[in-house]
A and B are shown apart, each in its own frame.
Chain A
Amino acid sequence: MKEELKEKQKEVEILRVLEGNARLSDAEIARMMGIKEDAVKAIIAELESKRIIRKYKAVINYEKAGIETVQALIDVKVSPERDTGYDSVAERISRFPEVQSVRLVSGEYDLSVLVSGKTMQEVAYFVAEKIAPLEQVRNTLTHFLLKTYKEHGEIYGEEGQGKRLAVTL
C-alpha cells in the first residue's frame, strides 16, 4: 500500500513538472526528483499509453508573435437527449477543427465552446452555419475575446520583478 502511494506521488509530481515545462528530458526530470531515468521513462510511457497525458503543447502568445487570430467563447443552450444527455451534441460540436474546447457548465447555459478563426466574420459564420442550426441547440451567445491576460497559468504581462542583490549572507 505504501509503495503504491509512493508510485502515485511520483506520477503526480511528474505531471506537475511536465505541466510546467514539457520540454524537460527524462534525465533532467529524474535528477530533479531523485529517481532513476528508467523509472521516469516508464511512468511517462504509462501515462501516455493510458492517455492521461494527451499531448505536449506550447502556450503561445499569438498577439506578440504578430499572428492574427480571432477567438470567441460561445455560450450554447441545448436540449439534452433522452439516452445520451449532452454527450452526443457536445461530441458533435467537438469534432470541428475550428473548435478549441468544449465544456459542459452549470448555470444559464449548458456548453461553453471556444472557437477560433482568422477573422471575426469567419468565426461568426461558423457559429451561424455549424452550431446554431444543430437540432438540439436552442440558443447561442457569442463573446469575442479581446485580450488575453493569463493562459494556462501563464501571466502574459511581464511582472515587474524587483532585482535581488547578487550577494546576501
Chain B
Amino acid sequence: MDMMSDRIADRVKQMKGSGIREFFDIAQQMEDAISLGVGEPDFVTPWRIREACIFSLEKGYTSYTSNWGLLELREALSDSIYKETGVYYDPEGELLITTGVSEAADLALRAMLNPGDEVILHEPSYVSYNPCTVFAGGTTVCVATGVEDEFKVRAEQIEEKITERTKALILSYPNNPTGATLSRKELEEIADVANEHDLLVISDEVYGKLTYEGTHTCFASLNGMKERTVLLNGFSKSYAMTGWRLGYAAGNKELIEAMMKIHQYVMMCAPITAQMAAIEALRCEDEVERMVSEYNRRRRVMVDGLNALGLSCFEPKGAFYTFPSIQTTGLTSEEFAKRLLLEEKVVVIPGSVFGACGEGFIRCAYAVSQYEIKEALERIERFLTGIK
C-alpha cells in the first residue's frame, strides 16, 4: 500500500495541527501541575440536573429523539430565550438541538458556505471556527483585535475586510480566550454593517450568561438581526455540562432547516439523556447564579493577582478567562508557557494558539478553586523572579 498520508484528503492534511501538541501532551500528563489551561467549569453539573437524567434513564428514556431534538426541550428553550433576550424562536422550525455548540457551528458554516466564500473572523478567538470554515469549503478572513481596544472588534474593522465573496461574520462574545464583551452600542454598530452589506452572522454566545459587568446583549435581539443571525448557545459553560455535549442553533427557518438536513444525516439527534437533563437545567437558574457569583469573585482575585505580578491584564467582563500580557518578560507566549510548565508546573495557554495577534499574551482560566488561583499566582511569581 502507498503511504497512507498520501491518501488523506488535502484539505485535512493542509490544516495545521496545533503546533504545540507536544507541550499539551506534557501538560496533560504532569501529575501535580496546577492547570489554568482548562476551558470548562470546575463545578460538577448541579445535582438536580444529574438526578433528572438518572430518573429519565430509570424510566427508560434511551431512544433516538426527533432530529430536531425533543419538542419539550425546544419549547422550554424557546420560552427561556424569549424571557432572557426578547427574541422569540418558533420551537417548530427555528430551533435545532445539537451535540454542543461545536456541532452547531459546523452545521451553520456548512449550511451557508459555497467553495471560496469568505467568513470574517475576529481574533484572538476560539480555535474551531477557522478549521470548520475551511472544512466547509470557505476561507476565513481574520480581523486582529488588540488589547488597546480591550479585544473588541470594531465595526469599521469588519467593514474594511468585506469583499464580494464575504458571506458571513462570526461573532464570539463574551470571548474565549480574552474574556472581552461587547456593549449593546458596539453590537449595534456591527449590526449596521451586517445590514448594509447583507451578511449572515454566526453569533456564538455560549458564555453569554457568564457576564459580570453590564448585561449580555443577544445579537439577534438587535433591530433586523434575528433573520440574518444564527444564534449558537449551549449548556456546556453556564450549566457546567461540558461532557454532556448539548447545544442549539436558533435562526431563520430556511437556514435552520438546511442545518437540520446535515444534522439528520451525520448526527441523527443529540443524545436523549443530555436532552432530558437539559429540560431540568432550564429550571436551575439559581444554580447558574450561584456559579456566576463565584466565578466573579475568582475573576477579581485573578486579575488583581496578575496585575500585581506585573503581567498587565485588562479587565475581562465575561467567560472565565483572563488574558494577561507577558511582553515585559521578553519571552514569546509559547516559550513562557513551556518554561512556566517545566519550572513551576503551572499550565497556561499561549495566546498565539488563538490567532497570531494573541502573541505576547497567555490565557489563564479562573474556572479553578480560590486555593488553586492563590497557589498558581505564587508559582508564577517565583517563575517571574527566576527569569529576571
Contacts and interface: CB of A to CB of B under 8 A. Distances in A.
A11 B127 CA distance: 41
B300 A166 contact: no
B73 interface: no
A59 interface: no
A32 B349 CA distance: 24
B27 A167 contact: yes
B293 interface: yes
B40 A33 contact: no
Given A166-B28, A167-B37, A168-B40, A31 B353 contact: no
Given A159-B44, A161-B44, A167 B35 contact: yes
B268 interface: no
A166 B127 contact: no
B38 A169 contact: no
A92 interface: no
B29 to A, nearest CB: 8
Nearest to B39: A168
Interface residues of A, number: 17
A126 to B, nearest CB: 37
A33 B347 contact: no
Nearest to A16: B293
Interface string B265-300: 000000000000000000000000000010001101
Given A17-B297, A32-B297, A169 B304 contact: no
A168 B300 contact: no
A165 interface: yes
A44 to B, nearest CB: 16
B44 A31 contact: no
Given A159-B44, A169-B126, A164 B38 contact: yes
Interface in A35-94: none
Interface string B343-356: 00001010001100
A9 to B, nearest CB: 10
B37 A166 contact: yes
Interface string B243-267: 1000000000000000000000000
Interface in A136-169: 159, 161-162, 164-169
A33 B297 CA distance: 6
Nearest to B290: A16
Contacts of B88: none
A7 interface: no
A13 interface: yes
Contacts of A34: 300
Interface string B117-130: 00000000011000
Interface string B22-44: 00100110100101011110101
Interface in B351-384: 353-354, 370
A31 B300 contact: yes
A162 to B, nearest CB: 8
A168 B24 CA distance: 9
A169 B28 contact: no
B309 interface: no
B301 interface: yes
A166 B30 contact: yes
A33 B299 CA distance: 9
Interface string B166-210: 000000000000000000000000000000000000000000000
Contacts of B42: 164
Contacts of B27: 166-167
A169 B39 contact: yes
Nearest to A159: B44
Q: Which 7 A-B pairs have the closest CB atoms?
A: A168-B39, A32-B297, A166-B35, A167-B37, A34-B300, A169-B127, A167-B24
Interface of A: 13, 17, 21, 28, 31-34, 159, 161-162, 164-169
Given A166-B27, A166-B347, 7 more contacts: A21-B370, A31-B305, A32-B298, A32-B301, A33-B297, A34-B300, A164-B42
22 contacts: A13-B293, A21-B370, A32-B297, A32-B301, A33-B300, A162-B243, A164-B40, A165-B28, A165-B38, A166-B33, A166-B35, A166-B347, A167-B24, A167-B38, A168-B37, A168-B38, A168-B39, A169-B18, A169-B39, A169-B126, A169-B127, A169-B349
